[in-house]
Structure 1
Amino acid sequence: MPLALHLGTADLTRCRFAISPLCQTHEALRMLRRPARHGYHRGWLRRMRRAVAGLDLAELWLFIPPVGGYTPDFLGPPPQEPYPTIEDELARMHATDPVLAHAEMTRSLACTPELAESPQGRAALYDPAATVRRLADLTERAWHALLAPDWPRHRAVLEADIAHRSRRAADGGLDALLTGLHPAVDWAGQTLTLRRYADVADVQRPDGRGMLLMPSVFVWPDVVSGFARPWQPSLIYPARGMGHLHTTPAPRPPEALSRLVGHQRAAVLAGLAVPASTTDLACRHGLAPSTVSAHLSVLREAGLLESRRQGYYVLYGRTALGDALADGRFTPGAG
């Protein structure tokens, strides 16, 4: 049955975006537990097979049911700021109130009755503060093994999604933003309706507190809404461009674009469906880094690309005009 969330005026003025490395880590773990969700990430899973084999995640699996069920919210709570660091989020997880942790773990274990009565389940509930510490330590190890090596690219995809949707909101208002989140999300009459969703038992209603929107690389094909009190009502949806994150073949650029800027430069632009570094693009296109750098400079000066630093990397992504040209939605010389 669909889930309908009514957003009043106060909620609409408090809608915001956030990127959470902690939430991304637990979405990745949930995906490992739910094979039907592998889809776009088979290449990533092949690369991560050895890392996963080296992790003993048994205690985390207690609280991440393989099919349906509830995962404790304190494992990946909605962030309080737009771009928290993993260190800050892990510190917040370590500080979880043991009473809250006990309640959420009890609810999660109840989804699989044999777990609630198992020695592992009873041990986890016996000392919730110690269990939280162990789960936080396991999560930190999972972060370093599964996400940290690729985090600059993952974060670039999430930031590009937020930038794209912010442009939609600037051009068409909140209606344009909320109607394009996901095919299973409808927006009409100030009501956000999720026609297909996951993990929504006892979903919080915004009630004037606004809605937190979080793009995710790993949530596909689901949309996740919920978080019981005291957490911020949130909607986690698949990030735009996540399907290209772990694929290496570069798309063929439109012929008109190749004639306009040259084949190599057009290929570099077309290959930036997901933001990438000079080194990534050089490997993908079989070009020298200096050649790619020269092409990127020209494309950026033409207003087709923008760049931003992520740690040790500079990542390049397409602007709205760059998207239009690469997707063939703008014919050079037309008009």
Structure 2
Amino acid sequence: MPVQLHFDESDLLHCRFAVSPLWETQAAVRVLGRPERQGYHLPWLRRIRDAAAGLDLGPLWLLMREGGHSPDFFCPPPIGPLASFEEEIAGVRAVDPGLAGEDLARSLADRPQVLHSPAGRALLADPARSVRELAELLEEVWRVLVEPHWPRLRALLEADVAYHSRRLAAVGFERLLGELSPQLSWADSTLTIAPTRARHSRVLGGQGLVLMPSVFAWPDAVSGFEDPWQPAVIYPARGIGGLWTEPGASTPNVLARLLGRARADVLCALDEPAGTGALAHRLGLAPSSVSAHLSVLRAAGLLTSRRYGHQVLYERTPLGIALAVPGHQPPELTDPAC
């Protein structure tokens, strides 16, 4: 079954990218409950196993039916490109209880056994209380399972946004969609997501579209937001294969002898563009040390940098790629469109 989003000319002028820590938080809960999604995240799962065992995730799992409607109000598209978790969870707490009640009822409507269970009846009996309790649970999940790893996750997501923003300028919206996910296609001013387990159709009506990379939604592209929520498509972030790689695991010994271990680790950690803070967290180094190494690598022509929001992202040049990945011919040399 497909999801279809219908555009007019003004919608194409209002498309933007965003990163959402709240979305990743609820998507992390889905991963915990679905073994088929856990492959790339086994290192993370091992690290958070004990903490996850201490959380009661039942109320969230009750609303996360595969292929069914999940409430939009507890994972809405972010209001800005770099919204913090605190800003997003404040939006959840401020949702109108009547709207939340309708959203909850829709999620449970086609599951009578859940709708009429004590847990289901409790969710619908007092939507304002349900909003508070779900927001508190999401905040606890964030604090315990996601926030300790957020610098690494954010670095990957922001690198994806930086990369695909450049691709949008280079190849246009229609071709970009196919690069985001093979599930996305474009025809007759309509974006189609297929195959999916849900059916959904929405006329954007000038609201535009938010494109959000996700680590924990992999490998699926996801949509389905209803009014009054901003239309959005969540797609699998690129580079997920190296997300949980341990520092230095991919650094060739010969490169470490040439540059020094710490500096070589910094170069090899830049599979995707990243900022100083994210690299320091990932490598277990002081930000001042990472900054010094980045400056030397940039001066040597191995890195380039550009500003994204309030931070500077670094990425390898073709020469840096050749050193960090021996035998690999960088895309810049093989694909003129990159």
**TM-score bracket relative to the smaller structure:** 0.7 to 0.9
- Alpha carbon RMSD of aligned pairs, Å? 3.4
Does residue 9 of structure 1 match 2:19? no
Rounded to whole Å, the distance in 2 between the matches of 1:307 and 1:333 is 20
Q: Which TM-score applies when normalising by structure 1?
A: 0.83
In the alignment of these two chains, the number of paired residues is 323
Change (3 A) 1:290 1:60: closer
Change (3 A) 1:263 1:176: farther
Question: After the TM superposition, which residues 230-309 of structure 1 pair with which residues of structure 2 at under 5 Å, given as runs?
Answer: 230-248=228-246, 250-251=249-250, 268-274=266-272, 275=274, 276-278=278-280, 280-281=282-283, 295-301=293-299, 302=301, 304-306=303-305
Q: Which has the higher contact order (CA 8 A, sep 6+)?
A: 2
Superposed CA deviations along residues 178-203 of structure 1, whole A, max 9, x for unmatched, are: 231112222345432322335x4434
Change (3 A) 1:289 1:213: closer
- The 3-state SS of whatever aligns with 1:277 is helix
Q: Which TM-score applies when normalising by structure 2?
A: 0.83
How many Å apart are 1:114 and its aligned residue? Answer: 1.1
2:216 corresponding residue in structure 1: 218
Change (3 A) 1:158 1:330: closer
AA aligned opposite 1:42: L
How many Å apart are 1:315 and its aligned residue? Answer: 8.2
Superposed CA deviations along residues 143-192 of structure 1, whole A, max 9, x for unmatched, are: 10111111111111111000001111222233443231112222345432
Change (3 A) 1:267 1:6: same
1:170 corresponding residue in structure 2: 169
Q: Could you tell me the percent identity over the aligned residues?
A: 48
How many Å apart are 1:310 and its aligned residue? Answer: 11
How many Å apart are 1:213 and its aligned residue? Answer: 0.4
1:18 corresponding residue in structure 2: 18
How many Å apart are 1:245 and its aligned residue? Answer: 1.2
Counterpart contact for 1:278–1:315, Cα < 8 Å = no
2:130 corresponding residue in structure 1: 131
Counterpart contact for 2:211–2:233, Cα < 8 Å = yes
Superposed CA deviations along residues 249-305 of structure 1, whole A, max 9, x for unmatched, are: 64366x9xx69x76966664333214342463368xxxx999866543222222624
Counterpart contact for 1:251–1:270, Cα < 8 Å = yes
Counterpart contact for 2:279–2:290, Cα < 8 Å = no
Does residue 195 of structure 1 match 2:197? no
Counterpart contact for 2:3–2:223, Cα < 8 Å = no
Does residue 160 of structure 1 match 2:162? no
Change (3 A) 1:53 1:176: same
How many Å apart are 1:47 and its aligned residue? Answer: 0.8
1:141 corresponding residue in structure 2: 140
2:92 corresponding residue in structure 1: 93
Change (3 A) 1:209 1:36: same
2:75 corresponding residue in structure 1: 76
AA aligned opposite 2:34: R
